[in-house]
Amino acid sequence: MQVAPGIRIVLHGTPRQWCDSARIWIRNEKDKLVRLLEYEARRTEGKLQVYEKFYFSHSSPNLQMHFEIIESMDVD
């Protein structure tokens, strides 16, 4: 019998989503979710893994990157 290795949760974002000063609530909600998931990850002894992937980190927030992430997203 094989045991499931666990669950991996990956949050994907861009500067438009996580760094836009006009939409700061998005970053706050993401950060709160990450904290909650990391807390649960510690309780599960590694069965839950939490990652963040930040795309276009050296670019200013813009609407175009919001759509370009679809082509750049790494889901492996």
CA–CA separation, 61 and 38 (whole Å)? 27
Does 2 fall in a domain? Answer: no
For residue range 36-66, list pLDDT tens digits in order: 999 999 999 889 999 999 999 998 888 898 7
Does 47 fall in a domain? Answer: yes
pLDDT value for 73: 85
Helices (H) and strands (E) in the chain, counts: 3, 2
Does 33 fall in a domain? Answer: yes
Residue 67, domain extent: 7-72
CA–CA separation, 38 and 53 (whole Å)? 15
Does 1 fall in a domain? Answer: no
User: What 3-state DSSP class applies to 47?
Assistant: coil
Q: How many CB atoms lie within 10 A of CB 33?
A: 13
pLDDT value for 30: 97
DSSP 19: S
The amino acid at residue 20 is D
Does 53 fall in a domain? Answer: yes
pLDDT value for 25: 95
Question: How many separate domains does the chain show?
Answer: 1
